[in-house]
Amino acid sequence: MATYYVKNTGSDAASGLTPALAWQTVDKVSTTTKAPGDVFLFQGGQTHRGLLYTLESGTATNPITFGSYGGGKAILTLATVLSSGWTSIGSNRWTHAVTPVPTQVFFNSVRGTLEVSQAAVNAPLEWFWASDTLTVYSTSDPATAYTNPGIEQDSGGSFGAVAAYGLNYLVCRDLHATKSRYGFWLGGPGTHNTLINCEGSYCYYDGASFLSGNTYGTILNGEWHHNVHNGASFLIDSHFGTVIGGSSHDNAPGSDVLFDGGQGYAFYQVTDCTVSGVDAYDNTYGLKAYDPLTARITFRDNKAHGNSLFGINVDTCGADCVIEYNEVYDNDTHQIAVEVSGTRTIVRYNRVHDGPAGEGLAGIEVITAADVAIYGNVLYLLENGIALYSSPLRTLIYNNTISAWTAAAIQASFDNASISGIVLKNNIADGATGSYLIDAGNYTIAAFVSNQNDWFGGGANKLRYNGATTGLAGWRLATGQDGASIDADPQFVSRATRNYALRIGSPCATSGVNLGSPYTSLLRPSSSWPLQVVLVDQAALGLTRAMGAYAPELVTGGGFPITEPPAGTGSGTAFFWRDYAEPDSPPMSRGRGLCPNCGQEMDRDEDGLFCWDCDE
């Protein structure tokens, strides 16, 4: 086992064993026979050109490692600088012999735009290639007009700036791969390869990709940005992949790219992969799993926002995908979409909000999918809360809190002639604002079950079924459902601040039904997304009938006060949520008379009665 160093001013004739005796080229590293435990470090902050590859594997205890030294990430790229040899052909067009066809051209590190013909190259940053000739626009010789670093072309002739095929136990740490077909390309029947604190940018395909049977790949705290196809991906039999932490942003196809692209994180024909703790923004899709051979993908504890299509998308997948504990907002179409997918997709405990206006857009969309379970989600400021399209089957919708929508809390009015088996229980649809509570349009729903929900505002003709719009009483007659549902103000802590936990005395705390495991677990009111979501098992506390996404309040010691008391009470009102991290804390009980000084209700702890307003 040895450590080798590489820097631009080194020498391939040196030993490479110290920074002073560093090698010079990427090719020297690639062509060196490697042993398990060997480490190869490139000087950070420098650009190292050439293909980094290996033909050897590490072991579980002694991986082969590639990384950086001296501060900052080392930059690896396949792009070559065209520093001389330009020929003017007039009209500010310049040509250079280039072969093979480039996939990208950069002008001082700014990605250029591919034009349709040489004659169409008429403005800065435009280029065209044909017959082994690259044409660019420049008002003077590109060799002197662009010098930092110049005009670079990525020939696309290799798989990635860093590439390995069929190898095991390789580690890349603190490297930035850029301006290549792929950044990191780990293909073939390898296993247990890891990227730690790496970056992949401005690649024609993916910033990092595990594909073609490269299993148990891991990405830790990576940054993937400005790639054309995907930020990071697990593709084609690369099962058991894991992504933890980091971000993926600004990945989107340009106008000159003919294929679909722009996933922050993509999973295609793989199973048993997990993404957690990432921030996916300003892509086309934030996180996407697709293809019938894709199954058991889990998206957990992530943020997905500002993407031009969906925040999180499970599309035409196999069974048992899970979308949980995510914060999804401000994406340009649906926030979470489960489309034409296999059975048993679960969407739970997400906070989904601030979606755009537009017919049919939703916080959570289900289209032609079967056996989807949607529970424990908090949804607000959306066109529709939960939307069911194109006749999904057997959708369970439990214990969701939906508020501040425009069209419908539950939308089922589009292309649903064969919709069947929808079950709605323990949901809160806060109709203080918004249009329909439920909108089934002109359809009826076969095998429909709905009960123990709070349809607040249901007395104001906000429920539509089989073409008729009615209040809750008319809805009951039309559907035969919701006999035990209520129409009552859920008494949230604060609509204004989007705190949808329930106040003490909320009618929703005890008006639901015990749905059994796993549906008895609800959100702790102090939960914050995406990394501090805490669940409370109501059953363990003897409370199994709450509506909405939040666990009902228990008045105990060791808790924390609600931020906004009900109207008519002082700022110190004794509203405590149970501190579930301290289940043995001393009990407090509410309702022990009124304070003789201020008239507010008093509370009791182990020392006796006290008033939060007067005894501070």
Mean per-residue pLDDT, 368-381: 96
Distance of alpha carbon 442 from alpha carbon 192, whole angstroms: 53
Q: Which helix (H) or strand (E) holds 403?
A: strand 401-411
Same domain, 107 and 53: no
State the residue range of the domain holding 141: 82-149
Given 108, 128, 149, which residue is the final one in a domain? 149
b/e for 232-255, b at 16 or more Cβ within 10 A? bbbbbbbbbbbbebbbbbbbbeee
pLDDT for the residue numbered 354: 98
Rounded to whole angstroms, the Cα distance separating 562 from 550 reads 13
Percentage of the chain lying above the pLDDT 90 cut: 80
Residue 16 lies in a domain: yes
Residue 264: inside a domain:
no
pLDDT mean over 423-429: 98
Task: Tell me the longest C-alpha to C-alpha distance in the chain.
Answer: 95
What is the band of 615 on the pLDDT scale with cuts at 50, 70, 90?
Answer: low
d(CA 506, CA 456): 13
Residue-wise pLDDT tens digits, 380-398: 999 999 999 988 999 999 9
Q: Is residue 454 part of a domain?
A: no
Considering only residues 526 and 66, tell me which one the structure prediction assigns the higher pLDDT.
66
Better-predicted residue by pLDDT, 436 or 542: 436
Q: Are 337 and 361 in contact (CB under 8 A)?
A: no
The predicted pLDDT at position 155 comes to 74
Cα(457)–Cα(437) distance, integer angstroms:
8
Is it the case that residue 476 has pLDDT exceeding 90? Answer: yes
Residue 163 is predicted with a pLDDT of: 97
One domain, residues 87 and 41: no
Question: Which structure tokens are listed for 436?
Answer: 């329909």
pLDDT tens for 153-196 read: 987 666 899 999 999 999 999 999 999 999 999 999 999 999 99
Averaged pLDDT score across all residues of the chain: 89
**Residue 108 resides in a domain:** yes
- Name the burial class of residue 544, with classes exposed (0-12), middle (13-18) and buried (19+) by CB atoms within 10 angstroms of its CB: middle
Distance CA 448, CA 429 (A): 18
Which amino acid, residue 304? A
- Confidence class for position 260, pLDDT limits 50, 70, 90: low
Same domain, 59 and 105: no
Work out how many domains the chain is built from and give that number: 3
Per-residue confidence (pLDDT) for residue 610, from 0 to 100? 59
Give domain status of residue 117, yes or no.
yes
Find the angle CA(357)-CA(360)-CA(363) to the nearest 5 degrees.
70
Q: The tokens 């067009």 sit on which residue?
A: 93
- pLDDT number for residue 592: 34
- What does the alpha-carbon distance between residue 35 and residue 62 come to, in Å, rounded to a whole number? 9
What token pair was written down for 20? 């002073």
Order of strands, edge to edge, in the sheet holding 601-605?
A: 589-594, 601-605, 608-610
Question: Which of these three, 70, 101, 125, is where a domain ends?
Answer: 70
587, 557 Cβ separation under 8 angstroms: yes
Domain-embedded: residue 195: no
Q: How many angstroms separate the CA atoms of 267 and 503, rounded?
A: 41
Question: Which amino acid makes up residue 292?
Answer: P
Nearest to 335 by CA among 296, 370, 374, 371: 374
120: left (phi over 0), alpha (psi -120 to 50) or beta: alpha
Which region, left, alpha or beta, applies to residue 584 given φ > 0 means left and ψ of -120 to 50 means alpha?
A: alpha
Q: Are residues 86 and 140 located together in one domain of the fold? A: yes
Strands (DSSP E) contained in 59-107 are: 64-69, 74-77, 80-81, 87-90, 93-97, 104-107
Does residue 592 lie within any of the structural domains? yes
Q: Are 153 and 43 in contact (CB under 8 A)?
A: no
Say which residue the tokens 């926002």 belong to. Answer: 305
Q: What are 122's two structure tokens?
A: 């008429």
Helix, strand or coil, per DSSP, at residue 5: strand
Reading phi first (left if > 0) and then psi (alpha if -120 to 50, else beta), residue 594 is in beta
In angstroms, the Cα distances linking 536 to 523, 543, 581 are 6, 10, 10
Please indicate whether residue 577 or residue 416 has the higher confidence score (pLDDT).
Answer: 416
In three-state secondary structure terms, 480 is coil
Domain membership of residue 39 (yes or no) is yes
Task: Report d(CA 205, CA 230) in Å as an integer.
Answer: 6
Q: Where does a domain end: 14, 45, 70? A: 70
Same domain, 62 and 91: no
